[in-house]
Structure 1
Amino acid sequence: MKRIFHNYVYDNYGYKKIASNLNIEGIPSSTGNQWSFSSIHSILHNEAYVGNSVWNMHDYSKGKKKKPEEEWIRKENTHVALVSREVFDLIKVKSKSRIKNSNLFEASFTPFILRGLFKCPYCGANMVSVQSGNQKGTRTVRRYYICGTYQRKVK
């Protein structure tokens, strides 16, 4: 776990690169599956790694929605920390600066104009955009949407 924090803070790796490196090295996640962007994000932003216990973070009345931090119930130093508070604070700062620099809210010139707008009818996961074709001399490019959960498990 310490390696994940070190890679993000000191090596300037992103969530995807950390997950990819762990998968390439064959290091399984705690569930025995491959690492994903979201599992790395969850670890890096989980206060349990600095010794805190936090409750009441989500509202489940209409799906899972994160509550404002003011509503969280936090008990500090409930167990031994795996990373220092300084490292955890650096993660927050780096994460915010990456979002500011990512042009997240600027229009992009993607052909996938419905990106992020609809869910899989079977499992409720986000539908993600993919494209195929244009390989080995073919000129046909097919763009389509697929269940994000299905795509992660197939690849």
Structure 2
Amino acid sequence: MSQDKKDHTLIENDDAPIVQFIFYLYSFGYSDKKIALLLNESNVKSPSLESNWSDSTVRYILNNLWYAGDLVWFSRSSYENSKAKPIEERFLFPNHHKRLISPQLWATTQFLRSKKKNKDRMDSPFVLRDIVLCVKCERKLAVKNMTPAKAKKNYQYYYCKTCKRKINLEELHSYVFDDFTGRWGRELNNQTRTIKGIYSEWKKTIEAKSAENKSNVDKLRYKLSFVKPENEFYEDIKESFTLQIKSVEEERTKLLNVLEQIRVLSEYGEPLELISRFKEDIYKYNNEEKRSIFLIAIKEISIDFIRKNFIEINYRLTPFVEVETTIDKLNNKKDEVSI
């Protein structure tokens, strides 16, 4: 679906905008089921032509690396079992053909898919859950709806299970929504100018850590070469070194994959579409759309209950959550070592 062959070259067909629309809707927080419902209500023909859209069809499209420009072989567990193998066990040929979905949109949808694996309800009124932290207890706030049946007023709270303090949903949302609107109104143009510099710093961080990992593997192999086979503990020592080498090499492979992501993102241009949605009036979005935007834009919201619910918002540098999270972990490890 979405591409045909002409003179051995892949070209987009009439279904391409449908696939792009599915990714776009998902990046705004819509579920597989809701997207299928919208497509059916709009009389959009499904890939099979003989049946309606289903959530499984939408899910297949959103997980299909073909639309990211990659070719995957041996993706099924076996001939009898159609269950997909883990991505690391498949044969992947990256950049095999022209991608239909931009790397920015692909990264956003895959991040949201990882959130939904944990049964994240995007349509919940608690659009800031999991990113609000109690400063004193250093714990994420839970949510609670204490609104009685037929009540005219909502009694919905974010609360800390440890210190039992809470903040009203409307109070927190009002502050965050207003701060978010003011921030992006002031800094949107600056964001698009600085993002290339951020990519450059990310590359340096990943490259330095990757080089360190390679050096560590070389050192481990060098040390192992001095262990004599006649040593009574040779097999145990060899196994220990082998496991260490495997662990470091796996980490380095993941880092190189992230480095490739950064390269593709930087070469594809600025994520104008993702960032531009921050300019719109946040109050006009529905809960699913608000939830997706805040997950992309905000790293953490801290509440100091002792200081009369003092709120501090830590915004992300870019919309690319998983890459930024990897960089943060590496920087945190670096800080721990220096301490």
Q: Same fold (TM over 0.5)?
A: yes
Partner of 1:27: 44
Displacement of 1:64 in angstroms is 2.3
**Superimposed CA distance per residue, residues 68-122 of structure 1 (whole angstroms, 9 cap, x where no aligned partner):** 222111111111111111211211110111122449xxxxxxxxxxxxxxxxxxx
In structure 1, what is the Cα distance between the partners aligned to 2:71 and 2:93?
Answer: 5
Choose from 54, 61, 73 the match for 2:91.
73
Amino acid in structure 1 at the alignment position of 2:39? L
Displacement of 1:66 in angstroms is 2.5
Are residue 41 (structure 1) and residue 41 (structure 2) matched? no
**Superimposed CA distance per residue, residues 12-53 of structure 1 (whole angstroms, 9 cap, x where no aligned partner):** 211011000100111111221211000000101101111110
Are residue 84 (structure 1) and residue 102 (structure 2) matched? yes
90-99 or 19-28, which deviates more: 90-99
Partner of 2:82: 64
In structure 1, what is the Cα distance between the partners aligned to 2:96 and 2:79?
Answer: 28
In structure 2, what is the Cα distance between the partners aligned to 1:41 and 1:60?
Answer: 21
Partner of 2:167: none
Amino acid in structure 2 at the alignment position of 1:45? N
In structure 2, what is the Cα distance between the partners aligned to 1:14 and 1:63?
Answer: 26
In structure 1, what is the Cα distance between the partners aligned to 2:22 and 2:84?
Answer: 24
In structure 1, what is the Cα distance between the partners aligned to 2:79 and 2:63?
Answer: 23
Are residue 6 (structure 1) and residue 28 (structure 2) matched? no
Partner of 1:93: 111
Identity %: 29
Note the residue ranges of structure 1 that are not aligned, 5 or more in a row. Answer: 104-155
Alignment root-mean-square deviation, CA: 1.7
Choose from 25, 34, 38 the match for 1:17.
34
Aligned length: 102
Match of 1:65, SS state, is coil
Note the residue ranges of structure 2 that are not aligned, 5 or more in a row. Answer: 1-18, 122-339
In structure 2, what is the Cα distance between the partners aligned to 1:2 and 1:63?
Answer: 29
Match of 2:47, SS state, is coil
**Superimposed CA distance per residue, residues 105-145 of structure 1 (whole angstroms, 9 cap, x where no aligned partner):** xxxxxxxxxxxxxxxxxxxxxxxxxxxxxxxxxxxxxxxxx
In structure 1, what is the Cα distance between the partners aligned to 2:21 and 2:79?
Answer: 36
Higher relative contact order (CA 8 A, sep 6+): 2
Displacement of 1:54 in angstroms is 0.5
Amino acid in structure 1 at the alignment position of 2:56? S
Taking structure 2 as the reference length, the TM-score comes to 0.29
In structure 1, what is the Cα distance between the partners aligned to 2:46 and 2:87?
Answer: 28
Match of 2:72, SS state, is strand
TM-aligned CA distance change 1:71 to 1:99, over 3 Å:
closer
Q: Which has the higher helix share?
A: 2
In structure 2, what is the Cα distance between the partners aligned to 1:65 and 1:83?
Answer: 24
Amino acid in structure 1 at the alignment position of 2:40? N
